[in-house]
Amino acid sequence: MSKPNDGGPAFPVNVSALVSKSYLESAGLTGMSLRAWLAGMALNGQLSVNDHNLSDKDVSKMFAQQSVCMADALIAELEKEVKP
């Protein structure tokens, strides 16, 4: 199974003037992926409009899965070439 496209960094910053990219990566300071951020935003949206029993592990798992699917779908749409 191939690794899903994570969309790259959610909030990229050019830090080349401060430290090297290899230092940041080796220190684990590369930040959140766009996929993780979009999934979190989707989850936030789902939870804001529904009253659910989040102590039910099946409900929590369903929300998590749906949020990741929404993030993947959005990244896929963003990758499409825009045609005039």
Task: Write the pLDDT tens digit of every residue in 22-45.
Answer: 666 666 556 788 999 999 999 999
Residue 69 in domain? yes
Residue 70 in domain? yes
Question: Can you list the residues of the chain whose pLDDT is less than 50?
Answer: none
Q: What's the pLDDT score for residue 80?
A: 87
Is the Cα dihedral 78, 80, 67, 1 positive or negative? negative
When divided into structural domains, the chain yields a total of 1
CB 65 within 8 A of CB 42: no
Q: What's the pLDDT score for residue 23?
A: 65
Residue 22 in domain? no
Residue 21 in domain? no
Residue type, 84: P
Residue-range definition of the domain harbouring residue 42: 33-79
What does the alpha-carbon distance between residue 7 and residue 33 come to, in Å, rounded to a whole number? 6
Residue 57 in domain? yes
Residue 41 in domain? yes
Residue 19 in domain? no
Residue 55 in domain? yes
pTM: 0.68
CB 34 within 8 A of CB 57: no
Q: What's the pLDDT score for residue 84?
A: 62
CB 37 within 8 A of CB 64: no
Q: Rounding to the nearest 10 degrees, give the CA dihedral for residues 6, 10, 14, 15.
A: -90
